[in-house]
Structure 1
Amino acid sequence: MYGWMGKILYVNLTDSKIKVIDSKPYVEKYLGGRGVGLALYWENVKPETKAFDPENCLIFTVGPIVATRAQGATMTSVVGKSPATVPEGYCYGNLTGYIGPEFKKAGYDGLLVTGRSEYPVYLLIEDNRVEIKDASSMWGLNGYRTGELLEQAHGKNTRWIVIGAAGENLIKTALALATHDCTVSAGFGAVMGSKNLKAIAIRGSGKVEVANPKGLTSLNRYTFKISKRIRLTHAPHIEGTRYEKELEVIGKGGCYMCGLECVAGIYRYGKKYVGHRKCESVEYYLPWAYGKENEPIETLFYAPVKANDYGFDSWEMNSICDWLYDCYKAGALSKEEAGLPLSELGTGEFLDKLMDAIAHRKGIGKLLAEGLYRGSDQAPPKAKALLRRSVAPIGQNDIFSPRAYPIMALFYPLEPRVHHINYHDIAFVHIPWSHEQRQPGSTGVNNALIRRIAKEIWNSEAAADFSGYKGQAMAAKTIQNRTYIKESLGLCDWAYPVSYSFGTPDRFGDPELEAKLFTAITGVSSDVFEEIGERIYNLQRLILLREGRRTPEDDYPMPHNFTEPLESPTHTGILVPGPGDSVIDTRGRVLDREKYMAMLKEFYQLRGWDEETGLPLRDTLDKLGITGFSMDYVK
């Protein structure tokens, strides 16, 4: 096979059994990446299995486009039962950087880890040589030091996935850290800790065969041209502060063999601090947000480094810090109840104390170790009442509020976690549109271009009215399917789809680029995409239903969206494109319940589900070739 390696590695830490599974039956139906990860989870993780049970599986899967020299193709999908969701259940995450390419170079399309070792171990993968090695000497070390030791033992080009104190101590939102400062959340660091799996180290010497090398080379040149778009050169929330002039991008922070522009970069803080940052890490723990205007630049620089090192999710930590600050201002938590000097929140010293408290379950860290949403049940009533709207059982937030964009009301509840991968399709055209509103001619992304994007990429021109409900169900379905295909191919969320481009006269991008790359690499027609996207999405629906999801009640967004008018701006501003060439101010909006219910029913119909219950229809699943389900959650 071109593009695929043909093997999935299976490791049972309980009995040290290591075997190789043929990946061909999986990739033919699910491509790779997220799709294959879902299929392996469906077959291997029982609904009654708990996140920290030995029987839980931690699954790493890589798509066919990864490690082929294609640009923006480094994604590794990670799938397992998560301790971070409420209740515990299926979840997913992603790792970019160098891990996925190294899996492929070692000869594997994926890795499934199950069982639990009696003592700390790490998994060493060097091409066909796979060993479970003693990691007792590494246990107790944080992430970066563990990575250094692995490179010393196995060579500087060894790629690694490691856990720190948060993962070892089973903090339910703990992440795993990988080479190139990449992380995967959803509590999968804690799942590694529950298995006594300190690290995975990978070195590969192989090569991925490509069906049409010359065609791929030509497409790579084209990709550089068509992918010229807005690149964040600074953090939006740092604008207007004294830190703005102290923070600058001095280089690209691209992943394996990728030269595309993206939010990842090498940042200089002040005159002497230089580090690799991506997205959330640039804006994590902003001192002035907590009233500490004079905090040194070192605090801003080291905050994400410390989070990665311990294994803390910076999204979760931001919510924790915001909540503690609200409690401090309202007097809802005493120093004795918190076990922390809340007046120091915003300083580097406070952050050190907070992370130590959570990692070792001291003071309020004991409840925060359960995750903020779950742990807040143990907080004093006044403190619990201050929990922000950004915290919910599946990690919903109001970065892109459904009150501003009704399509988000479908994205939020229908995923097991925050749906970044879906809402980026909307956000990545809204951002340049917002720039165009502030400075006409700066991007060329206007209402007319968004109508074309909606028609040709989202299959629904009506969805170009971001404030409306018409056509949003079709757009949501199309975006979801495209997203699941993208993640199954191993393509970066920042790079694809290319909806708009500064490299074309009319600013319209190329929605077929992913398909062109797939065919050049594998020799397989992309005609399979639509059916495979449907198959992957329906299989995820079955997994969620099998694990207790209630329909249709769990398919509604959080109740406040229907009753509380939107006050603060969304992440990309308060203005959205409306009908025609109009601009809509979203302040004061609420989600219309009747219109949402009608939109949800339309979505069910488009998916081939029962329009009243949201349960998949047997006929739909049969057509997609999905088996092994119970009629308890199928209509």
Structure 2
Amino acid sequence: GKSPMTYPEGYCYANIGGFFGAELKKAGFDGLVVKGRAPRPVYLWVNDDKVELKDASTLWGQGAGRTGELLQLAHGDRARFITTGVAGENRVRSAIIFGSHRATAAGGYGAVMGAKNLKAIVVRGTGKPPVADPDTLKELNRYTAKIDVWLTLTAPPGVMMTGHSDLVEVVGKDSCYQCGLKCNRQLYRYAGRLEGSRRCQSMEYYLPWRYGREDEPVETFFDAPTLANDYSIDTFELQAMIDWLYDCYQSGSLTEPETGLPLSKIGTREFLEKLLHAIACREGFGDILAEGLVRAGQKVPEKARAMLSHTVAPVGKMDGIPARATVVNALLYPLEPRIHQPLTHEVTFIMAAWNVNQARPDLSPITTKVFHDIARAFWGSDEAGDLSSYEGKALAAVKTQDRTYVKDSLGLCDYAWPITYSFTTPDHLGDPSLEAKIFTAVTGAAGEELDRYAGRICNLQRAILIREGRKVPGDDFPPEFNFTEPLPGGPQGRPVLVPGPGETAVNAAGKTLDRDKFTAMLQEYCRLRGWDEATGRPRPETLAALGQDDLAAAFR
């Protein structure tokens, strides 16, 4: 849909886990399209094939968590919902959608709900989607569970790298609908006494000790994700924002009187609560921050604007996995309308297992040789396994994009899919054809069709972006700093190691992207997509082969 977070505003996307999507399917729907704006606050109630708008005046102004509780009181514990908090109601650009089972979707779509006066969508489905081949599906489910053994972390990376992994322990699973696969959505115990469901980056967006607050009660660390979710503010945006405010205060670029915020107390619960309230209610300096960091940078003094990191992006975090170290990301980052974490996760998750092997071979079997085996199976060439080179990366980008587009379309979890490696298979390889096999078992359609669907999705997205003003191929280049600023080393000057040719590792620290090699890689990518190398637009014959002749006008 249209996103208020993108800059300028335009097409974007988000995904959400939990239970809502499955419940919608059980109600008989593959999707919902909501048009227009209600004259007063409403929510949409979907009860199998009965759909109605209901008054939401008593829900307006409630936090996302309380809204969910009230909706389930009204419609039963088995009803599933998506909603947004006060930030969404006030059209904070980074407002998220919050759903059953503490699922979230970024991209500013909470603000879209607020703009429509749509407080929530609630669904209850009693149907059972048909399965073409139940016996084969059961076999595939057992096979998937058998090979789904891979590296899992006992704490989020940011917590571990800052030496505080002793604060959290995993005490149980907290899976989404009918899922038994491994995931970092788990039940955690904090400091031996506080328990709650947490996952991924939202656990670590506000680590008090990063701001010199070692004595801050652990409750602040524990409650930070639920506080943000209740207001419905994107934690990626919050993390970048708090880091920037901290740097500005330390450098004297922003002061407490200028912002009305207790900047001297960054890292405390008091600061976080006041920041979240100011943003969600658009009060004072919070109104500027509610526009997002990219836009806020245009409204603050020059010395504060200069403190913005190059990693700040309209949606997500730029350069989280640097393209200067992992060259394929030089294509994956700019070709999308947002920083699309699942695209970069495919190589990142394998890299995590490889990095552990480099330090502790007894904990991970993913050697450099296995990494190259994975590259051949999933990215199409051995060259793709040398992350520092440009060879094989265009094909790797196509395959990674296609797999991710299909994964999103099938409703598969980013953390579990694709299964690229396994600790239990003899060669430690996963199965690149598994999604297609499951698709065939469920639908009866040929799994080979998935590649065709992915190509159609890619071309359709390209058409929308060009219609909205994307300049191609110029906008397909990554930000200029990738070509001019050497990649910094790791903490304490450590090397930034990536798999290299053969069974070697390469230190990427100090590297920049080569403009000529990147240009050649982009042109190869266009050839593989069936796009014109000079214009970056799909050729008519490509569109015709995919049954998309109707898009031809968008590319003229």
Matched, 1:629 2:551: yes
- Residue in structure 2 matched with residue 428 of structure 1 by the alignment: 349
CA contact (8 A) 1:253 1:265 kept: yes
- Residue in structure 2 matched with residue 585 of structure 1 by the alignment: 507
Matched, 1:453 2:374: yes
In structure 1, how many angstroms separate the alpha carbons of the residues matched to 2:555 and 2:369?
A: 43
Q: CA deviation at 1:430?
A: 0.7
In structure 2, how many angstroms separate the alpha carbons of the residues matched to 1:235 and 1:422?
A: 19
* Aligned match for 1:259, one of 180, 188, 204: 180
- Residue in structure 2 matched with residue 11 of structure 1 by the alignment: none
Residues 602 and 396 (structure 1), Cα distance of their counterparts in 2 relative to 1, 3 Å cut: farther
CA contact (8 A) 2:489 2:510 kept: no
Q: CA deviation at 1:573?
A: 8.0
Q: CA deviation at 1:631?
A: 3.7
- Residue in structure 1 matched with residue 358 of structure 2 by the alignment: 437
Matched, 1:81 2:2: yes
SS in 2 for 1:584: strand
- Residue in structure 1 matched with residue 154 of structure 2 by the alignment: 233
- Residue in structure 1 matched with residue 327 of structure 2 by the alignment: 406
- Residue in structure 2 matched with residue 474 of structure 1 by the alignment: 395
Q: CA deviation at 1:441?
A: 3.6
Q: CA deviation at 1:378?
A: 0.2
Identity score, percent: 51
Q: CA deviation at 1:173?
A: 1.0
- Residue in structure 1 matched with residue 533 of structure 2 by the alignment: 611
In structure 2, how many angstroms separate the alpha carbons of the residues matched to 1:573 and 1:145?
A: 47
- Residue in structure 2 matched with residue 22 of structure 1 by the alignment: none
SS in 1 for 2:420: strand
* Aligned match for 1:388, one of 309, 318, 324: 309
CA contact (8 A) 1:92 1:186 kept: yes
SS in 1 for 2:523: helix
Matched, 1:111 2:32: yes
CA contact (8 A) 1:243 1:297 kept: no
SS in 1 for 2:355: helix
In structure 2, how many angstroms separate the alpha carbons of the residues matched to 1:375 and 1:135?
A: 32
CA contact (8 A) 2:466 2:555 kept: yes
CA contact (8 A) 2:132 2:441 kept: yes
Matched, 1:356 2:277: yes
Which range moved further: 358-367 or 137-146? 358-367
Code of the aligned partner of 1:157:
R
SS in 2 for 1:156: coil
- Residue in structure 2 matched with residue 59 of structure 1 by the alignment: none
* Aligned match for 2:230, one of 303, 306, 309: 309
In structure 2, how many angstroms separate the alpha carbons of the residues matched to 1:552 and 1:381?
A: 31
CA contact (8 A) 2:247 2:307 kept: yes
CA contact (8 A) 2:24 2:125 kept: yes
- Residue in structure 1 matched with residue 197 of structure 2 by the alignment: 276
In structure 2, how many angstroms separate the alpha carbons of the residues matched to 1:403 and 1:569?
A: 13
Give 5+ residue unaligned stretches, structure 1: 1-79
In structure 2, how many angstroms separate the alpha carbons of the residues matched to 1:253 and 1:541?
A: 37
* Aligned match for 2:87, one of 166, 169, 172: 166
SS in 2 for 1:202: strand
In structure 1, how many angstroms separate the alpha carbons of the residues matched to 2:552 and 2:110?
A: 31
Q: CA deviation at 1:628?
A: 3.4
SS in 2 for 1:289: helix
Give 5+ residue unaligned stretches, structure 2: none
Matched, 1:318 2:239: yes
Q: CA deviation at 1:622?
A: 1.7
Matched, 1:368 2:258: no
- The CA RMSD over aligned residues, in Å, is 1.5
- Residue in structure 2 matched with residue 215 of structure 1 by the alignment: 136
Q: CA deviation at 1:585?
A: 1.1
Q: CA deviation at 1:446?
A: 1.3
Q: CA deviation at 1:396?
A: 4.7
Q: CA deviation at 1:270?
A: 2.0
Code of the aligned partner of 1:478:
K
* TM-score when normalising by structure 1: 0.85
- Residue in structure 1 matched with residue 105 of structure 2 by the alignment: 184
In structure 1, how many angstroms separate the alpha carbons of the residues matched to 2:392 and 2:157?
A: 31
- Residue in structure 1 matched with residue 96 of structure 2 by the alignment: 175
Code of the aligned partner of 2:215:
N
CA contact (8 A) 2:463 2:554 kept: no
CA contact (8 A) 2:203 2:224 kept: no
- Residue in structure 2 matched with residue 416 of structure 1 by the alignment: 337
In structure 2, how many angstroms separate the alpha carbons of the residues matched to 1:606 and 1:223?
A: 31
Structure with the larger RCO, 1 or 2 (CA within 8 Å, 6+ apart): 1
- Residue in structure 2 matched with residue 576 of structure 1 by the alignment: 498
Matched, 1:516 2:437: yes
How many residues of Structure 1 are paired with residues of Structure 2 in the alignment? 554
In structure 2, how many angstroms separate the alpha carbons of the residues matched to 1:241 and 1:562?
A: 30
In structure 2, how many angstroms separate the alpha carbons of the residues matched to 1:468 and 1:135?
A: 55
SS in 2 for 1:354: helix
- Residue in structure 2 matched with residue 35 of structure 1 by the alignment: none
Code of the aligned partner of 2:70:
L
CA contact (8 A) 2:316 2:340 kept: no
Q: CA deviation at 1:241?
A: 5.5
Code of the aligned partner of 2:541:
D
In structure 2, how many angstroms separate the alpha carbons of the residues matched to 1:565 and 1:105?
A: 52
* Aligned match for 2:421, one of 500, 507, 518: 500
In structure 1, how many angstroms separate the alpha carbons of the residues matched to 2:553 and 2:33?
A: 28
Q: CA deviation at 1:242?
A: 6.9
Code of the aligned partner of 1:204:
G
Relative to its length, the structure with more strand (as a share) is 1
In structure 1, how many angstroms separate the alpha carbons of the residues matched to 2:464 and 2:192?
A: 50
